[in-house]
Structure 1
């Protein structure tokens, strides 16, 4: 006996049914679902390569979709090494695939944040 249901195991978060928005991925305009993570929106738009590995250049895409694996790293609005599964997509957002090794923040900003934290 088969039970048919309109329920699904996976539902968008509340507010995720806000229609579509436009973002940019590698300088190409994409129309994606609003209210989703950047990773989910890019996957829905058919993007299958988010970054390349630093050693072999092999293509990578989201794996865990919960921030544990770092396979979905991209540059978002000029900030490298963002976990696309952990950032909500916004209209006009500019996303670029990340090539090679992860970038670290500039030394000056790290030094300044340490000074502020220590009250210097």
Structure 2
């Protein structure tokens, strides 16, 4: 599988020196690196859809990538998290498509 990773970055250094970890998104295994966020790891693996919108079912993915919006929300364990802010852990299980009520967003509890 080809990747969209930047392997050599002038500021972040050489990615090949980072430790590889496994993550699972909707029960499918992906490769990530320590220091990745969920969003960066999945984006590098060409995953674009992280969930579907609650009302219309349209695909949602990474939008702002700075934690301001909630478009990249996914479920890890019993928690809803923003993929762009959450670092990966080895063998992390990430799920999409678990709808939450829009009232949860209005309370700012994510």
Partner of 2:5: none
Correspondence for 2:93:
94
Secondary structure of the corresponding residue to residue 55 of structure 2: coil
TM-score normalised by length of structure 1? 0.67
**Structure 1: gaps of 5 or more residues:** 1-5, 105-120
Q: Any unmatched runs of 5+ in structure 2?
A: 1-7, 105-110
Aligned CA distance change for structure 1 residues 12 and 54 (closer, same or farther; 3 Å): farther
The TM-score with structure 2 as length reference comes to 0.73
Structure having greater relative contact order (Cα 8 Å, sep ≥ 6) = 2
Distance 1:7 1:39, change over 3 A: closer
Cα separation, 1, equivalents of 2:64 and 2:76: 19
Q: Give the CA RMSD over aligned residues.
A: 2.6
2-structure distance, mates of 1:64, 1:12:
21
> If you compute each CA radius of gyration, which structure gives the higher value, 1 or 2?
1
Contact 2:75–2:98 (CA under 8 A) maintained in structure 1 = no
SS of the aligned residue for 2:84 comes to helix
Aligned residue pairs, count: 95
Mapped to 2, the partners of 1:74 and 1:68 lie a distance apart of: 15
Structure 1: distance between partners of 2:60 and 2:82: 13
